[in-house]
Amino acid sequence: MSQRILLAIAVALGLLVIGLGLFWNPGQPETTVSPRGGDFTLQSADGPVSLSAFRGKVVLLYFGYTYCPDICPTSLVRTAAALNLLKPEEASRVVTLLVSVDPERDTLAHLKEYVTFFHPGMVGLTSSQAEVAAVAKQYGAFYAKHQTGSAAGYVVDHTADVYLIGTDGVLKERLPHVATPEQMVAAIRERLSVQ
């Protein structure tokens, strides 16, 4: 009897080891998790902003930070170029949100100044570390603070996709970092045409 129990324990442990080997992948960012998106409320320089306030509009959501010297400006410049390619009546139905994953250094006033540099319509959002982390998790965005030894202080490694949210507030797709303004415009128009 006790041998059977031992055997059962051995088999269970064996399965656990195999299972961990197959499925446990701690080095992988959470981009592999299918994101569900959903509502959130974060802070802007002009008060709290909720995603639910933008029903009827297409929302472009990006996670970044203002100390980001290269990737964020590249993404935001592309996004701004896409907005500028839209007709005014289309652009008025598109909202761009930058969520700072570096609330430690990004003040709300600084964020506002930063996003306005790229496009007057962009909105900069952030909140406590915990709240930002919750929103990032909701959307499957990954970020991690990393000390590089650079004089610029720490960098924040992060996914650089643009999350496209439909007029119904549901996450529709992720536009990769390399998406051209034209590709972004096509994706935005597709969502704008759906009421």
Partner 1 sequence: MMHKISALAVTLLFSAGVFAAAADNVSVQDPYVRLAPPGAPATGAFMVLKNAGDKDVKVVKAENSLSKVTELHTHVNDGGVMKMRPVQSIDIKAKGETVLKPGGLHVMLIDLKAPMQEGNVVPITLTFDDGSSKKVEAKVVRPTAPGMPMDHGKH
Q: How far apart are the first and last CA of the chain?
A: 66
Stretch that binds partner 1, among 33-41, 72-80, 95-103, 122-130 (CB under 8 A): 72-80
CA angle 180, 194, 122 (to 5 degrees): 50
Contacts (CB under 8 A) with partner 1, residues 85-144 = 110, 113-114, 117-118, 142-144
| Rounded least distance, CB 189 to partner 1, Å | 17
Q: CA-to-CA distance for 159 and 68, rounded, in angstroms?
A: 12
By C-beta, is 81 or 192 nearer to partner 1?
81
- Is 131 exposed, middle or buried (CB count within 10 Å of its CB: 0-12, 13-18, 19+)? middle
Smallest distance, partner 1 to C-beta of residue 2, A: 47
Nearest residue (CB) to partner 1, 125 versus 167: 125
Q: Does 177 sit near partner 1 (CB under 8 A)? A: yes
Q: Are 124 and 134 in contact (CB under 8 A)?
A: no
Greatest Cα-to-Cα distance within the chain, rounded to the nearest angstrom: 78
Q: What are 47's two structure tokens?
A: 């008060």
With CB under 8 A as the contact rule, the residue among 7, 16, 18, 31 that binds partner 1 is: 31
**Which residues in this chain contact partner 1 in the complex, by CB under 8 A?**
28-29, 31, 66-67, 69-71, 73-74, 77-78, 80-82, 110, 113-114, 117-118, 142-144, 146, 148-152, 155, 157-161, 176-177, 180-182
